[in-house]
Structure 1
């Protein structure tokens, strides 16, 4: 068993070496590519050449052995008999030295009586009966030469028309020398017939291994590999198709991964942002228990209902997200909306967050009042672009963070104004939120807007690293930017800049 494992391991290593050599060869583009039928034709031609070459070598070897006197040609016995015919006819007793040592002979009297010779006893009568009056006949697979002697007796000499080895030992093993060479030729042809297809199969199989390996990688979604090439055009075309399939699958998987990431981000963002209306509802519910003023009860009850609607809207978005119909950076619902009314809504929700968090909200809006008419006042009003809900979530996340980190009865300042930060004179809406908390650490300023960044805990408030990340994502989605800093008076300061559009510009 151990030996078997070692051999299997060795075979595997050998295969890997062969594959590596082949891969180095096929890494080159168009390395003298050949068609499969041309390769097959080449193997057939090589087979034919080897077969012909084998025949020529065997034929040449036969004649070399004949010329060296090691093999007698087929007509050798008949020629020797014809040469000795006169001596046999006129002489006395037939001597074996006159005949080849491979011949059998017998001498009969005029009445067919056996006189002498070396024909086997069981064949003597049959030989005489079949001979008749003909001089040459074929009997027992041999030829018989009839020679009438002058003394009235008849000599019957058997010979064979075949090549024979001179050596009696070889002749005993191989009676017909020609069959030995013919058998060698047939054996070599059989060997070529078996080996050449196997060689062709191994040649193609080594190249198909690159194909099967590529297909296996695509099947198990191991797509981190380069385009393979083959010196066989048909295989290279299949490899090209697999490479295109790999790229398409890779793109599909990448898009699927991004979609899942976006879906996960949206779910986490919604789970985080739903905390804002819940905080307002909880705060207003607590206030309802502490007051008997009907006007305040109605006001706070209205805020509770508004935030319940927000929760319902978040739940709808969550449902669409789980169906794959919307994502965190989907950009759906893009539109222009007036800045001033939107800021008024932010101001109201910020006040509700402040009441829930026991913090005072100081909100200062330095924007022109939106006109309700259709004249120049409306044309000059300021608009923001983007998904209104998402932009609101971005700003409310920042405000909620400020309230969370501000001590009880502390203050959170919200300042909204129009600025022109660039040299192009373009107007931006800048919303600055400043709290009275411990402020940002150096690491917070660098990484505070990263997803799941939770800082070192020095700010003393537990969070999940989603608020500022969501705020930055939605701000950038609307074409804006978010900046972290610390206020001169202490506390954290978050600035959101959003591009403004004028009503006259939108009409154009």
Structure 2
């Protein structure tokens, strides 16, 4: 609010005064331009460079009389204010500085006067043009024409330049346009300078640089906008500070919770490893049961290790330090083996039979992936299938030729289950974030689904240039046979 207080203490002019001032400048400039133009025109008349507009009509009779007295038509003796035509008694032009059309109109206009053959000069006006006719001793006629416009006293200037009056108007118009353009440019630069604090404030707020005071201007309306900008800056600063505090508290809370998870995980992991070791060392008649116990305990220990890894990633993410997984070239068989090791404990814990199939073509195939991300994505898909399977699930790894280019091959990971399959809504929206549909895939485990697993798997496949597809399997007799999820990853 400091800028607002300063603005109130400083006298500010209304914006209307600024605009009115430049209107006054425009009027003064136009007046000056036209005054200078008229002055130059008057000086040209006084200096004898041009004849006044009424010269032709005022001296037409005297000029014709002088030509009659000379007995011949001489261009040098006729002022440039006139255009002339020397014609014979049979209307044939003998000398002229008129155009053919001008000669024709002059002959038509003076036909009656020439027919009378009076010796005295005859002057009359017709159609805005003054005509003067005089008969010479040899019976020919001198016709002079003039208009009520100023003319140059030099024939060369008259024939090469616009009429002095038109030239004056052209120069005045050009000077007016130039004056208005210069004043407009000046007004624009002044207004831009006065609004500079507003521009700077908007740019800094756009960059979220809120620790500053909005400047001020000496224009009242601009200062009002700056004051509003200062209030907005203060509100944004308070809002962002509150948001930053909330986010910092949230990050601290996530980090604390993630750290606290390590304590029970350590206990579970230690006891699982102990149970696995003890089960292996026991001698009993039911070796198979002991083996299952050892496997279950080992699965628990491995799961704790994985959760411990995720906790570490969660802590790093809460600090903004979690790096993106690097993509490396991995053998397809190695990737398939790591995925199998991640999925097998899930099926064993759920009591579901798991079949794993590998195409022989995997031996020579390699793909460029973030192996850990792909493993988690397929494990999510498999966990979803195992949760909804009745008795059996299957994970198959195959190599598929591309279409339309067979040379572009893909690693195809197919996850099947013998559950109820996807509903129509799930087939359409199953890969969307937070989508949950219990219409067709119900069961005790369905409540543990949050609509994240398939979405994450689809995003991972897309990030690797692949795809994820949902479908339902159909048995030979046409009855539903369960759900199918296909993940495709391009090969290197």
Which TM-score band applies after superposition, normalised by the shorter structure?
A: 0.3 to 0.5
TM-score by length of structure 1 reads: 0.43
TM-score relative to the length of structure 2: 0.44
Instruction: Answer with 1 or 2: which has the greater Rg.
Output: 1
